[in-house]
Amino acid sequence: MLDIKFIRQNPEKVKEGLAKKQVKVDIDRLLELDKKRRELLQVIEDTRAKKNKANEEIKRAKNKEEKDAIILKMRELDTNSDRVENDFQEIDKEFQGLMLQVPNVPDDSVPEGKSDADNKEIRKWGDIPKFDFPIKDHIQIAKNLDLIDFERGTKVAGFRGYFLKNGAALISMALWNYAIEFLIKKGFTPFVAPSMVKGFNFMGTGWLPQAKDEVYSVGEDLYLAGTAEVPMMGLHSEETLDESDLPKKYIAISPCFRSEVGSYGKDTRGIYRLHEFMKVEQIVLCKNDHEESVKWHEEITKNSEELVQGLKLPYRVVVNCAGDLGFGQIKKYDIEVWIPSQNKYGETHSSSYFHDFQTRRLNIRYREKSGEIKFVHSLNNTAIATPRILIQILENYQQKDGSVLVPKVLQKYTGFKKIA
């Protein structure tokens, strides 16, 4: 969440950020509650001080009459403090509820816009392939080469269910190994993260309460994560690190689950938009400094670009407009890889930074060399998500005879060069 001090000092900037993200929160009401809350806190603290003083006076009382007089005053203080405490609890509940509804403020460099249609291209890489034969989409390729079973997947898992098999299964595993090995060499620590996690992880990362319809609940205060970001951010919750521990660079793989509420009728064919998938995620915790966050944002985006470049897939990078940012995101890049059958780029990676929005909720702090305690900054980025990127691999590497070549960087993991 945002620091209330920041909201007090920059109410118009916060309101402007709300408008850009198309979120409605009554900031004036929030500031009114903040003022009342601080006033009541002061009264509570003053009352406690008076009670402590009265307790000391009772100990020093010379006789019963003097002691009884002090006790009578304490009872009056108790009556008043009960009323003030009740008022504070009511105001604090509304205050905390509103604070959870305030999104992060977009960076000034983020373009305005309402949806992904307003995202801005900032660079491209690679050449769009030219085919001298009629191309097939990934669904037809998968059917011809017996790579994906959609019919039995739907029978077993319901809508958007699927089985990856044969070469598709092996290429998926190769992609995970490729990404993890690449990032270990970049100094990232590997994790296999849990997918079933407690609610505080979702609240801390900003998924709850806003995106509760997108999250699967599997029990009392247990949910299925839509990305390894959720459990990995919970890893250091309620901890105070040393400045020398930073940055923390993690690469985590996990199954991911999303209900895709709001996307019905959209990308229903194939493996682009699924309820269950696998993802390798970069997580960075760094010092509380904007320039430090910007540096790491560019770095983790570059890592993902290098992974796609290694696959020899043409792509572009877009900066997301304010209306296409997540609740806690300050700035986000998407990497979109070329889909020949659709004659367009399709999103395969995203890269975001949050400042201390998540860590303030999760209470992840660090101690500077000076001894000052600050909240760390957090970032995350998709290294590889499967099976989505199989769309681009199958379509860009398809051959005239119906076979599909395996990207060279994956061949050492698959043990074969072609699917035929």
Catalytic residues: 258, 273, 347, 350, 388
Q: How far apart are CA 293 and CA 352, in angstroms?
A: 10
Please enumerate in sequence order all residues whose Cβ is within 8 A of that of 16, keeping only pairs 6 or more positions apart, or say none.
105
Q: Classify the C-alpha dihedral 135-137-138-140 as positive or negative.
A: negative
Query: Is it true that the peptide bond before 387 is cis, omega within 30 degrees of 0?
Result: yes
CA dist 43 → 39, 47, 176 (Å): 6, 6, 57
Q: Which helix (H) or strand (E) holds 205?
A: helix 199-205
The Cα–Cα gap between 36 and 74 comes to 25
Q: What is the DSSP letter of 61?
A: -
- Which of 350, 411, 413, 416 has the alpha carbon at shortest distance from 384? 350
Q: Give the number of other CB atoms < 10 A from CB of residue 354.
A: 26
